[in-house]
Amino acid sequence: MTALNDQATGRLTDEEIFLAHEGGKLGVSVRTSLADSRALSIAYTPGVARVSSAIARDAALARDYTWTGRLVAVVSDGTAVLGLGDIGPRAALPVMEGKAALFKAFGGLDSIPIVLDTTDVDEIVETLVRLRPSFGAVNLEDVSSPRCFELEARLIEALDCPVMHDDQHGTAIVVLAALRGAATVLSRDPGSLRVVVSGAGAAGVACARILVAAGIADVTVLDSRGIVHAGRGDLNPIKAALAEETNPAGRTGGLDEALTGADVFIGVSSAQVPETSLKLMAPDGIVFALSNPDPEVHPEIAARHAAVVATGRSDFPNQINNVLAFPGVFAGALNAGARRITERMKLAAAEAIASVAAEELSIDRIVPSALDPRVAPAVADAVARAAE
């Protein structure tokens, strides 16, 4: 197996990557003492019977006396994994383990990866309904579009606990926070910006909707066939609904027509953007090229035509990373005992992320670092307050 890069360059090598994954990235730790026979009697038999009996009388006590009150199920069918696509549940598991590790490191939440060997929405819903007593929330991950929309909606209705598809809403929350940061740096009113979203999959739809919900009225969305507008006869139900919610000017055509005079470009698809198209944007524009590993346009090229540039990568300034959102969102929802993650909670999360960076904003810092320890507690607090 060829190394990705030589160790001497400071970049990653296959050797260190596979070594770090050997045996998996997760384990189980014990939170209570088992040091002597009395401790064993408390943690297991006979003491545990008293706790189980109490929960049998009042099921709500499970939240306090089991780990479900802080346990997230990270669920995937492996159909849309990172930049790898449909690689199946087993190949998706290292990613889900990584997601679970992020929950613990940044949100203080335990989580269990669950990869399912089915892509049938009915089967996935039935499986999670039957598993519901074992967890407190569901983080859907790497489920292909458009099934992800139906699956999330069905699970929200079927389960009495928080459910969120992070590829949709985690991305949207951080994009909104970043756009607020960029607008502040440029002394612009976010509501006055004309925004173009390239991509009408999971992330694109969620980004467009949260921007509209946040008061940004002029949002235009592109899919692989051009601008999403109500006059198109080839739209699936999700895109048809999106056409009613966006593009107030009734624009038609392709990328160039959408970008002419636009203030903001948000790329959440793999479609490459020519430099000639960026030249059509309004002066002092904002470009978020978020595809990984290859942005829609290289940041150095984007910087020739935009005042603020962000990507999804850690090796360029202004990384828009979902880890800024999902640990705090789930922690806040679980802390509040919320049954749903609402639009109000998502908007509160975006505001909290933006507020952490508020005193340190610059062209190269429109959101906090993904490693900033202040973010998850701030988001959790804001989400819990919004839930109440």
Binding residues for a divalent metal cation are 141-142, 167
Between the CA of residue 387 and those of 215, 310, 341, what are the distances in Å? Answer: 21, 30, 8
| CB 125 within 8 Å of CB 158 | yes
Residue among 25, 65, 99, 279 flagged as catalytic: 99
Give the contacts of 216 (CB within 8 A, at least 6 positions apart). 179, 190, 191, 193, 195
CA 292, CA 232: separation in Å to the nearest integer?
Answer: 29
**388 CB neighbour count, 10 Å cutoff:** 8
Q: Is 272 exposed, middle or buried (0-12, 13-18, 19+ CB in 10 A)?
A: middle
Question: Is the bond preceding 46 in cis, omega lying within 30 degrees of 0?
Answer: yes
Query: Would you state the structure tokens that stand for residue 338, as one six-digit string?
Result: 């919320």
44 labelled catalytic: yes
Does an H or E element contain 110, and which? Answer: strand 110-115
Place of tokens 């839930």: 387
99 labelled catalytic: yes
CA 268, CA 85: separation in Å to the nearest integer?
Answer: 14
Backbone angles phi, psi at 256, to 5 degrees: -65, -40
CA 114, CA 137: separation in Å to the nearest integer?
Answer: 12
Residues making up the annotated binding site are: 141-142, 167, 292, 321
Give the contacts of 59 (CB within 8 A, at least 6 positions apart). none
DSSP 8-class letter at 67: G
Helices (H), 25-165: 37-43, 47-57, 62-65, 89-107, 121-131, 147-158
Residue among 25, 44, 65, 279 flagged as catalytic: 44
Backbone angles phi, psi at 33, to 5 degrees: -75, 140
Residues making up the annotated binding site for (S)-malate are: 292, 321
Q: Which residues are catalytic?
A: 44, 99
